[in-house]
Structure 1
Amino acid sequence: MGIPVDEAALLALFFEAFFYGIFLTLYLVTLFILLKKTGIQRQLLLPVASLLLCIATAHLIVDFVRALEAFIFKVDTSADIYYSNLASPLLVASTALSNIQTILADGVVVWRCYVLNNRSPFISIPGCIVLLVNVATGYYVSWSLAHSQSILMSNGVYECIVIFDTLTLLLCVASTFLNAWRIYRTRRFMPEGLGAFLPVFVVIIESGALYATNIFMLLITFFIQSNALYIMLDIVAPIVGITFCLIILQVHFNVGGNSPN
């Protein structure tokens, strides 16, 4: 038996708050590290990390307000009907924030892969194309929901959501593989033995696995039309921030050998 939509929404809010707490803690550690840096590491990474935190905070506030409206203020409407209304302005805002957060994360993924692979255009060009496609599809999804007057998904929105999440997953997996391969190539002839392979697994676990797993589960719940989709969707914002902070910590502690400037 599937989980009811109102219970799924409450669970989504709980897990979002939980992961937001982790993100906030990692952000404070990252902030402490970046304030000691100079150059691009401070000028670029610090504003991006702060922007990710602001978006995740706004997303959490929007979802909290939605929960208040569904269970307290909208007494004449059941929570199931409230959360099923895809044309709700707050849902549109929540979706737009998730899309912006995901696109920012994809940009960071492309940048990190680009730097680690000697600033190769063969890395940056396909990555930028994927980013542009995701910007277009994410905008279309938000625009369609904002102009929808029903609880039904508009034409083309389903396909755009699939394209958006699939490209994000492929980008994450591909960049993680390329980073791991790059590190393996630079470490395989070093005298550390098996210890030379440790950074590969660190990159996979820290920079890719958490984010990729979240997007993969989001796609699965979307395909099977499970209400667990609400959980996977709402935790995207803090998960993105967590992944970004882990990448910065990886660079700071020189995991993988090359630290971008």
Structure 2
Amino acid sequence: MAVQFLPEDKAGLISTVLESLLYGFSLLMFIGTMWTLLRRPEVNRPMVVVACLLFCLSTIHLGVDINRLNTGLILFRDAPGGPQAFFANPSQTSFVFKNAVYSFQTVLGDGVVIYRCYIVWRSIWACVLPSILWLGVAVTATGSVYTCTRPSTDSADIYVRELGRWITAFYSTTLACNLTATSILSYRLWTVNRSIQRSRVGSGVTMPVLLVVLDAGALYSVTLLAALICFVLQSNGQYVVLDMVTPIISIAFYMVILRIGVSQTNLSNRSATDQSIPRIPLTSRPDNFSRSKPMHVRIQVEQSTGDSPTSVERDLKEDLGGQTQSYRDPL
């Protein structure tokens, strides 16, 4: 039996309110993300499509939850079992549909993280383990949604043996996939940033990207871990966390692109400021300058390789943010 300190109908109300608040943040971030992606001459269409899909899925999920509140609290208030029986039924059509939307959004979000790993590493071998886990996420998501639709599903308990195993496996695999992909991506960004610091003076865009990747991964992972713990403990708090995960997936995706866009804007403004500094004309040299000793200048030319820190940093700025022509089609 589920922990009864939070009834199902109360959990449904709280979860929808919190989801609406997070959806508001994701809406603002979606607008900023689209502005960042579309203001460049070369638009990365796959990233635009993913951003629109995540926003549409979040909107659909919130609309279903609002409709469930109306149905459960108003239309089913006098039905046998009342609103609590409605919200506790895992085979209810609206519950199955919103979980299918959440499952697809999870698969899409995890796939984007793996895609970023491939872009940064330039090697498919770095994505083997995350890809295997990603396939596990897709299988367990399909199994959990299908199990909810079976007539044998207990309409009074979501924590029954078969359905509970599918959902526990789904939470576990998506958490493992996100942690693995984020760790691989963060390690590569850290090594690139260390190489950049050794080869030149100043800071580039790699460290801000690394920090925001860690922040986005931590936000998503903590939420998934909370959902997994609540489900294992058979607490109805998992309903609350489950509805919060949907907008958080979109927020984690938007965070990376927005932070890269801000970093690129700051670098552009800094370059423009440096170019606007007045310089002393060569024709206005003082008289004593011509009588001074000749100055010997040595110019050292370094030949950069294809995998130099500066080239890797440029790829990070362009590919993670979706700004280049070369990597517009891998999705």
Same fold (TM over 0.5): yes
CA contact (8 A) 1:5 1:80 kept: yes
* Structure index of larger Rg: 2
Counterpart pick for 1:61 among 50, 63, 69: 63
Equivalences for 1:115-154 in 2 at 5 Å? Answer: 115-117=119-121, 119-148=122-151, 150-151=154-155, 152-153=157-158
3-state secondary structure, aligned to 1:235:
helix
Structure 2: which 5+ runs fail to align? Answer: 265-311, 325-331
Letter in 2 for 1:116: V
Instruction: Give the length in aligned residue pairs.
Output: 257
Q: Displacement of 1:177 after TM fit?
A: 1.9
Query: Does the 8 Å contact 1:221/1:229 carry over to 2?
Result: yes
The within-5 A match list for 1:189-228 is 189=195, 190=197, 191-192=201-202, 199-205=209-215, 207-228=216-237
Matched, 1:235 2:244: yes
**CA–CA separation in structure 1 for the residues paired with 2:207 and 2:139:** 38
* CA distance, structure 2, for counterparts of residue 233 and residue 129 of structure 1: 24
Structure 1 residues 1-261: aligned runs within 5 Å: 2-39=5-42, 41-77=43-79, 78-117=82-121, 119-148=122-151, 150-151=154-155, 152-153=157-158, 155-189=161-195, 190=197, 191-192=201-202, 199-205=209-215, 207-254=216-263, 257=313, 258-259=316-317, 260=319, 261=324
Distance 1:142 1:38 in 2: 41
Moved more, 160-169 or 218-227: 160-169
Report the residue type matching 2:211 in the other structure: F
131-140 vs 51-60, greater mean Cα deviation: 131-140
Partners in 2 of 1:164 and 1:234 — Cα distance? 15
Q: Which moved more, 1:72-81 or 1:223-232?
A: 72-81
Listed one character per residue, the Cα deviations across residues 87-131 of structure 1 (whole Å, up to 9, x for unaligned) are 1000000110110110000101111121112x2112223222222
Q: In structure 2, what residue type is equivalent to 1:107?
A: G
What TM-score does the superposition give when structure 1 sets the normalisation length?
Answer: 0.90
TM-score w.r.t. structure 2 length? 0.72
**CA distance change for structure 1 residues 38 and 145 in 2, over 3 Å: closer, same or farther?**
farther
Is the contact between residue 117 and residue 126 of structure 2 (CA under 8 Å) also seen in structure 1? yes
The one-letter code of the counterpart of 1:115 is I
Which structure: greater helix fraction?
Answer: 1
- Mean Cα displacement is larger for which, 171-180 or 238-247? 171-180
The separation in 2 between residues aligned to 1:202 and 1:249, in whole angstroms, is 10
Distance 1:43 1:196 in 2: 23
Backbone CA RMSD of aligned residues: 2.2
Of 26-35 and 169-178, deviating more is: 169-178
1:15-70 deviation per Cα after TM superposition (whole angstroms, max 9, x unaligned): 1000000111000111111112355x531011111111111111001111111111
- Do the aligned partners of residues 254 and 167 (structure 1) sit closer, same or farther apart at CA in structure 2, a change above 3 Å counting? farther
Query: Contact between 2:96 and 2:149, CA under 8 Å: does it hold in 1?
Result: yes
Partners of 2:224 and 2:93 lie apart in 1 by 24
Q: Secondary structure at the match of 2:44?
A: helix
Cα contact 1:17–1:60 (8 A) shared by 2: yes
AA at the equivalent of 1:188: R
8 Å CA contact retained: 1:188, 1:196:
no
> What is the deviation of 1:197?
5.6
